[in-house]
Structure 1
Amino acid sequence: MFVITLRFADKTKAPPLMDGHNAWIKRGFDDGVFLLVGSLQPNAGGAILAHNASRSEIDVRVQDDPFVAQGVVSAEILDVTPGRTDDRLAFLKA
């Protein structure tokens, strides 16, 4: 499982890239990789909970985000090995 943070580096570049960024998010959900996408508060960027992919696949996927590619955000990928979960999230331990 991965926790990905996308912290704003240059928000002024974001508006023309928003459609591409939203399409990238949609692909993550369509591919079954993204479980959750949300905003970092206050207005600091975004966070993604991802699974069902290798670290190298996550690295490539993150680099494909137009926001990352164009320097709108800086990305950090945390590789988390779940040890204990609520029963509803047991699939993350697989």
Structure 2
Amino acid sequence: MFIILLKFSDNKSQASQFMEDHKKWIKQGFDDSVFLMAGSLQPGLGGALLAHNSSREDLEDRVNNDPFVAENVVNAEILEVSPAMMDEQLKMILKEAA
């Protein structure tokens, strides 16, 4: 499982120019059953994604294809998590997504 942090860079002002393609990129991640959650980092710091069903290498390639990353609107950080404990509700979500 992965947590992807997309923190705005100095090029944040260009976000609107690439927003539609960024949204398409996120949708593709959901369509491919890789992304489980997408949301904003508060207060207005960027975004975050929860991902699974991917190798780290494939996920790095996917993240590098995000228009926001490619155009330096955000800096991406991928955190790999090996869950040791989780709430039953999350277990159900992960089971349904598999």
SS at match of 2:84: coil
Q: TM-score, normalised to structure 2's length?
A: 0.90
Superposition CA RMSD, Å: 1.4
Aligned length: 93
SS at match of 2:82: coil
2:32 aligned with 1:8: no
Letter in 2 for 1:30: D
5+ residue gaps, structure 2: none
Note the alpha carbon deviations across 1:14-56, whole angstroms, 9 max, x for none: 1110010000000000000000000000000000000010000
Inter-partner Cα distance in structure 1 for 2:88 and 2:20: 36
Inter-partner Cα distance in structure 2 for 1:69 and 1:60: 11
SS at match of 2:37: strand
Q: TM-score, normalised to structure 1's length?
A: 0.94
2:28 aligned with 1:27: yes
Inter-partner Cα distance in structure 1 for 2:8 and 2:32: 25
Structure 1 residue 87: Cα displacement = 1.6
SS at match of 1:19: helix
Q: Where do 1:1-94 residues align within 5 Å? A: 1-9=1-9, 10-90=11-91, 91=94
5+ residue gaps, structure 1: none
